[in-house]
């Protein structure tokens, strides 16, 4: 591993531990608590199957939408590559997922995925508007799109939390503003047979 990659990995680990410390010390907004309770209740109704195993982890920092693939011509050949920003974010997701999974093998069965996206509150907003956003009174209708963030998160979890994202049978997503921008993920392996 090169010095640059090693220092980058150390910096990412430090960011994850700092974000986990901040998240553990901060209380979730009342609306966020209500949403979590509602999603938990509804997801148990939809997938009444018993749970085999579960993992929860947080990806620190502002959520990044998965970028479109880029193309570069090299002589007569065209090379496809993932944008660097997307690749860095998927690696951050993979690192957080590895820490959450510990020594466990990737889930083999069907998976329920619950994702809470917390976008940064714009600093240009007034303090009242920032408070309203943190309390969930202002909807996070700005970019990045939730589905594009989910694509990057699911790709980052491939091979770590589950073998392939085709195993996801339930997907619950919420996108809100938060004082600490991050993506909180809960993955549950359901006690169901594979097709």
CATH at 152: 3.30.1330.70
- Residue 12 falls within a domain, yes or no? yes
pLDDT tens digit string along 154-174?
Answer: 999 999 999 999 999 999 999
Name the residue among 152, 159, 163 with its Cα closest to residue 185: 152
What's the rounded Cα separation, in Å, for the pair 159 and 165?
9
Alpha helices by DSSP H, listed for 74-162, are 84-101, 127-134, 146-157
| Cβ(40)–Cβ(51) below 8 Å | no
How far is residue 104 from each of residues 41, 55, 98, 128, 162, measured CA to CA in Å? Answer: 27, 10, 9, 45, 11
What is the number of structural domains in the chain?
A: 1
Q: Averaged over 48-64, what is the pLDDT?
A: 88
Name the residue among 18, 180, 8, 182 with its Cα closest to residue 88: 8
| Cβ(135)–Cβ(100) below 8 Å | no
Q: What is the pLDDT of residue 28?
A: 52
Residues of the domain holding 64: 3-190
- Residue 147 falls within a domain, yes or no? yes
- Residue 64 falls within a domain, yes or no? yes
- Residue 144 falls within a domain, yes or no? yes
- Please indicate whether residue 56 or residue 71 has the higher confidence score (pLDDT): 56
- Residue 131 falls within a domain, yes or no? yes
Q: Structure pTM?
A: 0.73
Minimum mean pLDDT range among 6-15, 21-30, 158-167: 21-30
- Give the length of the chain: 195
Strands (E) across 39-110 are located at: 51-60, 70-74, 77-81
Q: How far is CA 99 from the centre of its chain?
A: 14
Is the backbone peptide bond immediately before 144 cis, with ω within 30 degrees of 0? yes
- Residue 195 falls within a domain, yes or no? no
Going by pLDDT thresholds of 50, 70 and 90, the confidence category of residue 50 is confident
């Amino acid at each position: 591993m090169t010095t640059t990659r090693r220092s980058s990995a150390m910096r990412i680990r430090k960011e994850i531990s700092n974000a986990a410390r901040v998240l553990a010390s901060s209380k979730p907004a009342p609306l966020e608590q209500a949403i979590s309770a509602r999603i938990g209740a509804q997801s148990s109704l939809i997938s009444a199957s018993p749970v085999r195993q579960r993992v929860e982890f947080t990806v620190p920092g502002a959520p990044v939408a998965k970028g479109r693939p880029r193309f570069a011509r090299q002589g007569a050949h065209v090379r496809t590559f993932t944008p660097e920003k997307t690749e860095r974010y998927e690696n951050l997701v993979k690192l957080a997922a590895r820490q959450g999974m510990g020594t466990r093998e990737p889930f083999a069965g069907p998976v329920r995925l619950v994702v809470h996206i917390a976008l940064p509150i714009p600093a240009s907003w007034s303090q009242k508007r920032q408070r309203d956003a943190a309390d969930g009174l202002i909807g996070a209708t700005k970019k990045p799109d939730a589905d594009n963030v989910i694509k990057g998160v699911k790709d980052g979890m491939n091979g770590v939390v589950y073998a392939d994202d085709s195993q996801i049978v339930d997907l619950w997503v919420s996108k809100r503003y938060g004082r600490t921008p991050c993506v909180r993920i809960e993955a549950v392996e359901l006690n169901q047979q594979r097709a």
